[in-house]
Amino acid sequence: MADLRVEVEDAIATITLDRPDALNALTIGLKEDLRRAILDAGDDDAVRVIVLTGAGRAFCAGQDLRERLQPDVAPLAVEIRDRYNPLIRAIRDGPKPVIAAVNGVAAGAGASLAFACDVRLAADSASFVLAFARVGLIPDSGATWLLPRLVGASKAAELALMNEPLSAADAERFGLVARVAPAADLIAEAHRIAAGLAALAPRALALTKQALSASQRSTFEEALELEAELQGQAGDSDDHREGIAAFLEKRQPRFSGN
């Protein structure tokens, strides 16, 4: 994993894209390592929250455009189906909250990566630019589905078609990022939020992710029914019993994840 760092501490897996000289652009190897790191963190009982960030001045500049010029490169549709889509699914379908700590520019599929995360924090120096049309492509890696849901159809169309960069401040104004922090404080702020999530009941968070995700494709009636089913599972957990006990005993809960 030459271009990826994974550090696990205090139940937080911090995954850092580490190709700063190429603004953390995504090569085949980096996409595969990142997907594997997210799946591994999802399976690791020592991890409750994932923080995704980039080394250097960028979050991620999307597809490595130099790699695209290699003679044996896969056709685009194959690359999207075999590498980008599984990576985005690993984030979306995984059981643990994923926080994007967007430390700098997020371009092309790098922006899509951030859109796929559950929570986005941005450095005040960060920006988002769809960038696809400038290289003759359409937004991918879930961007056409995720972005309208995050910022609304009108703003999504503007960002996707016009390719203008969106500043961190404007991203916060449009609800695309939860919070903007000074660049020097971004990781500390991401870890502070991650620690808060890590103290909550892991299974309840996983089921919440599942319900929110399913709600994007369901009717209201189906959402009500799924809530009933998943709440049944949550209500049957040790963590629910611990939550009630802690409330009544006026102490902090200690969730086991069971």
Q: Does 55 engage in binding with ligand T3D (CB under 6 A)? A: no
Task: Determine which residue in the list 61, 88, 204, 206 makes contact with ligand T3D, applying CB under 6 A.
Answer: 61
Which residue stretch of 57-65, 116-124, 206-214, 220-228 sits at the interface with ligand T3D (rule: CB under 6 A)? Answer: 57-65
Q: How far apart are CA 119 and CA 165, in angstroms?
A: 20
Q: Decide: residue 223, CB within 10 A, 0-12 exposed, 13-18 middle, 19+ buried.
A: middle
Could you give the CA distance from residue 60 to residue 113 in angstroms, rounded to a whole number? Answer: 8
In whole angstroms, give the CA distance from residue 118 to residue 245. Answer: 29
Closest C-alpha among 177, 95, 171, 98 to residue 129: 171
Q: Is residue 140 near ligand T3D by the rule CB under 6 A?
A: yes
Which of 13, 17, 23, 171 contacts ligand T3D by CB under 6 A?
Answer: 23
Please give the size of the binding site for ligand T3D, defined by CB under 6 A: 24
Which 204-243 residues touch ligand T3D, going by CB under 6 A?
Answer: none
Q: Is 76 in the site for ligand T3D (CB under 6 A)?
A: yes
- Does 181 participate in binding ligand T3D (rule CB under 6 A)? no
Q: Does 66 bind ligand T3D (CB under 6 A)?
A: yes
> Taking the alpha carbons of 29, 30, 35, 36 in that order, is the dihedral positive or negative?
positive
Own/partner pairs for 87-90, CB < 8 Å, 24+ apart?
87/31, 87/34, 87/35, 87/38, 87/113, 87/141, 88/112, 88/113, 88/116, 88/141, 88/142, 90/35, 90/38, 90/39, 90/42
Instruction: By CB under 6 A, tell whether 3 contacts ligand T3D.
Output: no
Residue 122 in the binding site for ligand T3D (CB under 6 A): no
Complex with ligand T3D: residue 65 or 244, whichever CB lies closer: 65
Distance CA 47, CA 95 (A): 11
Please identify, using beta-carbon distances, which residue of 134 and 192 lies nearer to ligand T3D: 134
| 129 binding ligand T3D? (CB under 6 A) | yes
Regarding 13 and contact with ligand T3D (CB under 6 A), the answer is: no
> Cα–Cα distance between 217 and 185 in angstroms, integer?
37
Compute the least distance from the CB of residue 22 to ligand T3D, in Å.
Answer: 4
Helix (H, G, I), strand (E, B) or coil at 13: strand
Here's the x/- map for ligand T3D, 90-119, by CB under 6 A: it reads as: ---------------x-xxx----------
Give the nearer residue to ligand T3D in terms of CB position, either 109 or 114: 109
Grouping H, G, I as helix, E, B as strand and the rest as coil, residue 179 is strand
Q: Which residues bind ligand T3D (CB under 6 A)?
A: 22-23, 25, 61-66, 68, 76, 79-80, 105, 107-109, 129, 131-132, 134-135, 137, 140
